[in-house]
Chain A
Amino acid sequence: KQEVTQIPAALSVPEGENLVLNCSFTDSAIYNLQWFRQDPGKGLTSLLLIQSSQREQTSGRLNASLDKSSGRSTLYIAASQPGDSATYLCAVLSGGYQKVTFGTGTKLQVIP
């Protein structure tokens, strides 16, 4: 059974700082990994999708990497802004039935 863990559970940084969020998964046989953002009381906003054959994806200030063999992914946020404050979830598509397993989330607060 796939298990996805995110560390840290919460993070508070001053504005302008670069930061890294971590995601680890137990079964490396994945199809893809996706990073989402969720604002309080809101739905999911897809940030980056990395296919199993890829090692990283970039969008603006965001960069996500994938190391399947070690079961890890990182989301790098450059020059953080208060608007980046949200909960970040990683999700892994894996298994014969191709189910998505979500991580526990990292709650990010960027302080002005």
Chain B
Amino acid sequence: DAGVTQSPTHLIKTRGQHVTLRCSPISGHKSVSWYQQVLGQGPQFIFQYYEKEERGRGNFPDRFSARQFPNYSSELNVNALLLGDSALYLCASSSLRSSYEQYFGPGTRLTVT
């Protein structure tokens, strides 16, 4: 069974641009969460979606948005990129049965110049 997949793996953008990151959950998982990890810190929660509905949002500005599609895949969008948005963006999926156990993808490394 394939794990959580994310695309692209690496991305370089310029300040002010917009970026879209994509995630496909483990088959059968209906919940997707997004986290941001900067160097030297643990991942920080951005969003969680379950059955296409937003279930939670972390302390991130409105420049960050996300959505979940009928096939449970998800997109994270970031507008008006800042240098401080440079980070590893992680997607995690979980099943209804074990909703607390979240399984992470390899991440997308975003560099903003």
A binds B: no
Binding site for A on B (CB under 8 A): none
